[in-house]
Amino acid sequence: MAALQALAARQEPRQSRLRPRHFGCRPERLQRHGWMDTGVFFRKGVTVMRRAIGLSLSVVAVLMLDAVPAMADDFSAVPSEPAARSELSRTGKLDFPAFPARRRSSPDGLSRGRPAASPDDGLDPFIPAATPDSVVDNESEQIRLVLTSRYSNPATVRAVRAMSGRQAVELYAEVSSRIDERSLEPTSYDVRVRRALRNLGLALDNDAFLKGLRISSDSFRTDAFRESLSRLAGRMTVRSRSDAMAVMNSVMKEAERVSGLTPSVVAWEFALASVDTLDRFSGLDPADPGMVRGAEATGWRTAALDEEIVGIGVEVREHADGLVIVKPLKGSPAAEAGLRAGDVVTAIDGRDIAGLKLAESSDLMTGPVASRLMLSVTREDGTKRSFTVVRRKVRIWTVNDTRMLNSSGTAYLSLSRFSASSTAELDAALEALYAKGMKSLVLDLRGNPGGLLTTCVEVADRFLPVGTIVSTRGRLASDTMVEKATFARTWSMPLVVLIDGDSASASEIFAAAIQDNRRGVVVGVKSYGKGSVQTHFPLNAISGDLRITTALFYSPNGRRMAGEGVTPDVEVVDRDGVANGDRMLREAERLATSPELLSMARAASRVKSADPAKPRSAALNNIADPDSGRTVVH
């Protein structure tokens, strides 16, 4: 092209009559490059230029076609990851692309993003069209959802930006080692690496990834990088960590062509992809470099498990119009300001939050002690209110409601989570209820997502004089344990436990322990069925937490709880909730004074407490449930 420009420059100046469409460009682009008034183009010169351009484009097309066969032509040809694992276990090898390739257009000519270019539409016909919706497989959609959620979280983005390449490589090695050593069902390095390549390939089309990490969206560069990943996936053999590291280093080298796709981003995604291949309860959570409190200070415990946070004291969850308040915490600034359960927060400090992800909205609610937070709220009756709340240290209580239900001595106690302070809270609440005349107890675990296993064992120990509370079984001897009742002073009153479909993990362990040991009656509907053990490992390469499923829970009778849950002794379905009366609670109140329950309590009172000499397993201290992700406390 430079030679052709020089040839044109030597001609006598006159107004060019060359039509802009011959260059596939608009007039302003010709003017910018000085082609509108550069000289006379006689017929033969124009013919030479056309032939030269045609020859150049033909060479480019041949080179591109030569690279295309290395890529898969259709998402539907890519097997799902479970199928890939099955094939790997059967044959030890697998011929499957690391990620689905992008097609230039769908069979019906429709595509996501802009349509395929035509010669006269003013678009460059050699930029590939985006992936058509018709050829996107379900697993790719799931990966896209994961990527969007991951990089819509401002705290995660800040952590990745602050991470050096060396730290990210060390993180990948650390995560790989933990999975190899402790995961209940570790995946092969081949599966992990292919997932990493697929994540990176799909991430280049993900707006949250590109925007959050400020990565170039230049189509030529990203397409070239994607093609290099496909070729690499086709020829690689990954049998060990060293093989995986070699592939990662190759990807880092290829990523240099994409602005912003740094070695730290590549290694970070390799580490996350390794965890992605495990079960859905395993996870990698970096600490927010812009904030040191609660979860960051203790290494892994989340705000929901802390005794104290800095905020306004409100539990929220995602809503189409912003955030809906689940409840204001007891004694919090939110409660004092008049915020109520059911209020929908539509704006924070003047910014509209409709449509934002929970992590994005929650990030706007964080701030230091004594800072002000302005909230725009829509109430359930449609009225709009504005609140200005000052942040302060707020105590998180897990025993939120205690009261006497009737004159017969039936007491009620609600436990929202098994946190570090729950045992002490429960002891104090039971003493207070006993002083008011408690003769039977309804313990409400509805909506309780679990928490610390060690706290669950302590709480169950308050009601069981003898018997097994829970057992776990894992790959290693250290992950296999049996916890029995050992507490010397147990409560012997009749006990009813309330559960629902949101009662999970530690809540299910407690309910099963009471049920299998015939210490009380369980009322409600079948519980969630989350019966796996997540062990938390504070990270060394960066600040944060790695949680890996290391074992499964079993009830005292040896019943596997994962996927099964707890079936209540008395099923009560209350489809309209407590709006028209709490049917579950009414039934629990009736059963609390029944002869059958009184007989169970008397039998428990006659049993001598177990010998408390045997210490608890040290592994209990690192076992806790991950956040449900549905609610956040601020």
Q: Which residues are catalytic?
A: 505, 516, 530
Type of residue found at 342: G
Report CA-CA distances (Å) from 61 to 67, 68, 69, 94, 547: 10, 10, 13, 31, 48
Phi, psi of 215 (to 5 degrees): -100, 140
Sign of CA dihedral 11, 26, 50, 126: positive
* Strands 283-286 vs 544-554: parallel, antiparallel or unpaired: antiparallel
Q: Are 336 and 360 in contact (CB under 8 A)?
A: no
Q: Is 249 exposed, middle or buried (0-12, 13-18, 19+ CB in 10 A)?
A: middle
List helix spans (H) across 550-593.
Answer: 583-592
Tokens of 410: 């039936």
Q: What 3-state DSSP class applies to 523? A: strand
Distance CA 509, CA 15 (A): 86
* Buried b / exposed e along 233-242 (16+ C-beta atoms within 10 A): beebebeeee
289 neighbors 159 (Cβ within 8 angstroms): yes
d(CA 76, CA 364): 40
The region, left, alpha or beta by phi > 0 then psi within -120 to 50, assigned to residue 357 is: beta
User: Is 422 within 8 Å of 459 (Cβ atoms)?
Assistant: yes
- Contact assessment for residue 405 and residue 412, using Cβ atoms and an 8 Å cutoff: yes
Are 457 and 469 in contact, with CB atoms under 8 Å apart? yes
Which residues sit opposite 323 in a β-bridge?
A: 318, 345
| 532-538 vs 521-524, strand pairing mode | unpaired
324 phi and psi, to 5 degrees? -105, 135
Extract the tokens encoding 370.
């004594």
Per-residue tokens: 256 = 């240099």
DSSP assignments along 353-412, one per residue: -TT--HHHHHHHH---TT-EEEEEEE-TTS-EEEEEEE-EEEE--SEEEEEE-STT-EEE
Q: What is the CA radius of gyration of the chain?
A: 31
Given a contact cutoff of 8 angstroms between Cβ atoms, the answer to whether 300 and 535 are in contact is no
Q: Residue 251: CB partners within 8 Å, gap ≥ 6?
A: 196, 197, 200, 229, 232, 266, 270
Counting Cα atoms < 13 Å in the Cβ hemisphere of 514 gives 33
Helices (H) and strands (E) in the chain, counts: 20, 20
Which residues pair with residue 547 across a beta bridge? 283, 536
Question: Which own/partner pairs from 176-179 qualify as long-range (CB within 8 Å, at least 24 positions apart)?
Answer: 176/241, 176/244, 176/271, 176/274, 177/241, 178/537, 178/546, 178/548, 179/274, 179/275, 179/278, 179/548
Say how far apart CA 351 and CA 349 lie, in whole Å.
Answer: 6
DSSP three-state, residue 148: helix
Contact 416, 455 (CB under 8 A): no
Length in residues, the chain: 634
